[in-house]
Structure 1
Amino acid sequence: MHIHIGRTRLGAAVKITAASSLTLKSIIHYAKEIKGIDIVGVIDCHVREVLCEIEDDIANGIAIELEDGGINYSGVTLLLGSEIELYDENCQGPIHVLAFLPTLAAMHEFSEWISTRMKNSSLSSQRIYENARVLQQKVHELKGLFIPAHVFTPFKSLYGKGVKESLKEVFTPALIDAIELGLSSDTQMADQIAELHSYPFITNSDAHSLEKMAREYQIIKMMNPTFKELRLALKGENGRRIVSNYGLNPLLGKYYETICAKCSAVVTLQCSNCGSTSMIKGVSDRLRELASSKSIEVARPPYQHQIPLEFIPKLGKKTLEKLRDHFGTDMNIIHQVEEKQLQQVVSPVISSAIVAARNGTLSIKAGGGGTYGKVE
C-alpha cells in the first residue's frame, strides 16, 4: 500500500529518487508475477498523467474500475493513493501522510484541490501548505482513508519531527484510519505509545524500486479486493480484519539506531569516536522518549519478521532469477519452499540462510542514520 511511480509512460519523472523502471505497468506485473501481491497501493495517483494512463487502460479494456472502489488489472487491484508532505503552523517539522481515494472521480477532485496548495502536483511527496485538520476533512469528505506514513522515521514523519509528544498537536484523532509503522519498527515497539492502541497498524514497503516491493505487507481477510472491503478490514467490521503483518526485522531498517551525523558511529548523547553532539536519532531511542504505555499487551494481529531475499548473503541477481524460475513468487520462496527443494536449485549456504531467515535465527547488525541493517 505504499509504492511509488518513478516514471510515467511518457518518461516524465514522478518520484525523482525512485527507479525509472517503476512504471504503472511494471508495478502491476511485478505484483502479480514476481512478488505475489493481490492489492497494490500506488501513492502517486494524484499526478494527472498517471490518472490519464489509468483511464486509457480502462478505455482500452486493460483495466476495470470496480464498483466498490479500486481498479482491477487482470486480478491485481490498484488502490488510488497519494503521498503528501504536510506542513502547517502546528508542525515541528514536515509530516508525510497517505491519502487513498475510492474512485477516479474522487482522485481527480483531490488532485485539483491539492494542486492549488503545492508548487508542483506532477511530482510525488510534494509539500502542501495547509492546516492538517483541513486536509483530513477533505480526504474524508471524498470518502477516502487518511494514514500518517512511516510515523517514526527521523525525517518527515509524525513522531520523528512532526510533533513533540502527541498526534493531537496536529491531527484530529478520529479522522485517522490507520498508522503506517515504517521499516525500523514493529507492532510491539509502536504499542509503547498508548494513543496508538486504538488504530490498526499497516506495514508497507515504501518501494522506490521494483525489488523493494513487498519487503513489508499485510494479509487481510475480506470478501473481495476492493476499497470498500479494505475500509471494513481496517475497522475490523463484519468479519473483515488484518490477519497478520509482515515486515522487516526493525534492526534491518535504515533508522533503528541513533547515529553520529558526522562519522556514523552508534551514539547516545555524544559521539565517543569524534566528539560530535550532532545525531540522527534512531527509532528505538525516539520510542523510548515517547513511551507512555505501562502495558503493551494490545490485541493485535501477529507481526511476522521477514527478511527479503535481497538481504540474504551471497544471493545475487542470477541466483534470484533461478529461484523464481523454479518456485514462482518471492512469497512462496521466503515462506513455503522446503529446504530440500531449495537445495536442488541453490547452494546449501543460501538455502540454509533462507530457512534461517524464515525461522528468525539469522544474526543481524542494526542499521541507522540512513543505512540499512545487515545480515551477518
Structure 2
Amino acid sequence: MIANITGYGLVQGIATCLDTLAAQSFGRGDNEMVGIYTQRCFILMCLIMTPIVLIWVNAKPFLLAIVPEVECCELASQYLKILSTGIPPYVIFELSKHYLQAQGIFHANTYVLIFCAPLNVILNYVLVWDKNIGIGFIGAPIAVVLTDYLMATLSVCYVIYIDGHQCWHGWSKEALRHWGYMNQLALSGVLTIEAEWLAFEILTFAAARLGTTELATQTVLSTMCVLCYQIPMGMGIAASTRVGNLVGAGLGQSAAIASKASIYVAVIFGTLNALILFALRDKVGALFSNDDDVIRMTAQILPYGAMYQINDALSAVTGGLLRGQGRQKISGYVNLIFYYIFALPVGLYLCFGLNWQLAGLWIGICVALVSVSVIQIIVVINANWEQIIQKSIEEFEHESEENNV
C-alpha cells in the first residue's frame, strides 16, 4: 500500500502531463518538443522520487510509528528497501510508455507487457516457492524489481531500434526551462490518481475493523474492480492521446466527435463489465477463498461493484479526455471533493453509524463515482474547443518565445 500511494501512484500521476503536452506537440507536428517534454518530466520525477526512495530505504522507524507489530514492520521495511531499487526503471518505463503513446504507438508497451507479465509470475514462483532457488518472502520484491528493469530495457530498445526515435533529438538544455505549466498538469494528474487509490486504501482499513471476513471480501472486490478497470483505463489513454493530437492540430470539431465516440464506447464496455460481474457474483468468491462466509458475502456485495463499473468506465474515459484537452485540474478537484467530502463520510456513516457494514462503504464509493463521472461528462460535452485550441497555441508560442530568448 505504501509503495502504491507514495511511489507508483506519484509516478503515474506525474507522467499524465505528457498526455497533454507531448500529445498536443505531436499533433501540431512539433516532434522535437515531444522529446523535450519527456526530458522535463523525467527530471521532475527524479527530483520528487529521490527523497521518497531514501525514505523507503529507511522505512522501519516510520512503520513502527504507525504499526505496532514489529515483525510486520520488519518484513515491510525489507520489502520497500528492495523495491526502491526498482523505482528508476519504473520511471523510465512509465515515461517511455507515455512518450510512445503521444505518437500513437500503443502496441509497443503491449508487447513488452505480454512478455514481462507472465515472466513476473514465473519469477515470483521461482524466487519465493521453488525448493532449490526460492528465498521466501523477500523473493517477491526481487521479482518485481527484475521485471521493472526488463520492461524499461525493452521499451528503450524499442524506441532506439524500431520506432519512436523520430521525436528524440538528444538531451536539450530546454528541458530545464518553462516548468510552470508542466507542474500544474502533473499536480492535477497526481491528485486524480491518488484521490481514488487512497480512498480504496481507506476503505480497506475500514473493512479490517469489521472483521476478517469483511476484509477478505473487500480484497476480493477491490481485486476484481481493479482487473475490470484495465479496460476503461486503456480506453482513457487512447482517448487522451487522440484528443490531444487533434487539439494540437487545431481540429476542434474532430476532437469533439472523438470525445463523444469515446463516451459511447465507455458506456458499452462499462455495461459489459457490470453484466459479467453480476452474472458471476456467486462464483467469484470461490476463485479467491474456500471460506463459505467470504464466498457468500462476496456474492452479496459484488452487485455494488457491478453498479460501479459503468461510472468507473465513464470516469476513466472522461478523465482521459480532460487530459487531452489540458484540463485535468478539473478531474483532480472533482475527485478530491466527491471522494473525501462526500463518499468517505457517507460510506463510513452508512457502515458504522447505520450498521450497513461493507455494503455501506461501497454505496458511498458508488455515489462518489456517479457524481464524478456525471460532472466530467458535462464538462467534456460542453467544452469550448476554440478556447482549448487557443490555450494550446498560446502555450506553444510562449514556449517558442522563451526558447528564442
Normalising to structure 1: TM-score of the pair? Answer: 0.32
Higher helix proportion? 2
Normalising by the residue count of structure 2, what TM-score does the alignment of the two structures yield? 0.30
